[in-house]
Amino acid sequence: SSEVLEAIENVIQDVLESLAKKQAPVLTLAKRSDWRNIEFKDSIGLQMIPRCTTKQIRSDCPRSAPKFALMLKILSMIYKMVQSNTYATKRDIYYSDTLLFGSQSVVDNIINDISCMLKIPRRSLHILSTTKGFVAGNLSYTEEDGTKVNCTCGATVFTVPSNVQGIKSSLNIKDLNSHAKFILIVEKDATFQRLLDDDFCIKLSPCIMITGRGIPDLNTRLLVRKLWDTFQIPVFTLMDADPHGVEIMCIYKYGSVSMSFEAHHLTVPSVKWLGLLPSDLKRLNICKDALIPLTKQDQNKLASIQKRPYIACQPMWKKELEIMAASKMKAEIQVLTSLSSDYLSRVYLPNKLQFGGWL
């Protein structure tokens, strides 16, 4: 906490020194979303280069002055929370003054900018993300308040804890215990619930299932990373055979451009693409009528993914993306129900896991 306080004090000191010299104060931020500031390392994923290009948030420019003020406001809130050892979610911060902030996305963006500017993980700023992910299967752990959580109880679903990893802070989950043979990341809640209903976590072999319910929040990504670090078991992904599903899988494996400054704590380089593969659609003779044409937006997203640096290291992934681009068709995991209602849990996943049908 002293490191966080000192980092904020240094920022404020720079502001005061500028004012003393009768100069307009500025805040200097790395350009988080600029691909030129990102390098790809196979062992980490997408990470920010040490000497990246920056932008200035000026206090004397009409376009950036409001953001400058909001950044100082949130810095002061963080400072008070760290001093008093209290915590707030991003949502709490937004609702503390909705008129001032205008929208939740403004708050989210500023918090990420502050974390990047101070080079301090967001959890150490005493800001918790609201969790939307679920976890189930062969796993038990103790939360920081002493609550014991046992996900192994049948078809029970637990929300991903909001205190997964306490880097430089007291927040943590501990006493993790599991006999799972693998971790299965499921893109969508509906598929996750269906697999639970089919007792998938215990029928084939003990496993841990996680869903971020679409694009994963920070806590879900942290949990997947913590489970991988702790148990060193295979991590598979089950996604729709569409550009959006591939994008989500890449976030778990390689990270995202906007959070590349925290890649070391968030990415799981060993993630494998289990399904649904574009090549599976032909192999399983899925009826053409059950497939969905790619929209223009889908095609643009697919073309953008194909150009990313990590795709060159994954020739099998590249081939699958080429199949999708050539067919101009996509499919949801639910398309397997056209073969039989329980095809996913009874045939598709057991065969893939047994015979090595992943990339």
Please give the Cα distance from 312 to 299 (Å, whole number): 19
Active-site entry in 79, 94, 95, 310? 95
Two tokens at 44? Answer: 């980490």
The residues near 180 (Cβ < 8 Å, ≥ 6 apart) are: 137, 138, 139, 206, 207, 208, 231, 233
Are the CB atoms for 310 and 268 separated by under 8 Å?
no
Instruction: Note the residue count of the chain.
Output: 359
Cβ proximity of 163 and 172 under 8 Å: yes
Q: Residue 348 catalytic?
A: no
Beta-strand ranges (E) seen in the chain are: 26-30, 38-41, 45-48, 54-58, 88-89, 127-128, 134-137, 140-142, 148-150, 158-159, 174-177, 182-186, 207-211, 235-238, 272-275, 292-293, 329-330
155: three-class secondary structure by DSSP: coil
Q: Which residues are annotated as catalytic?
A: 95
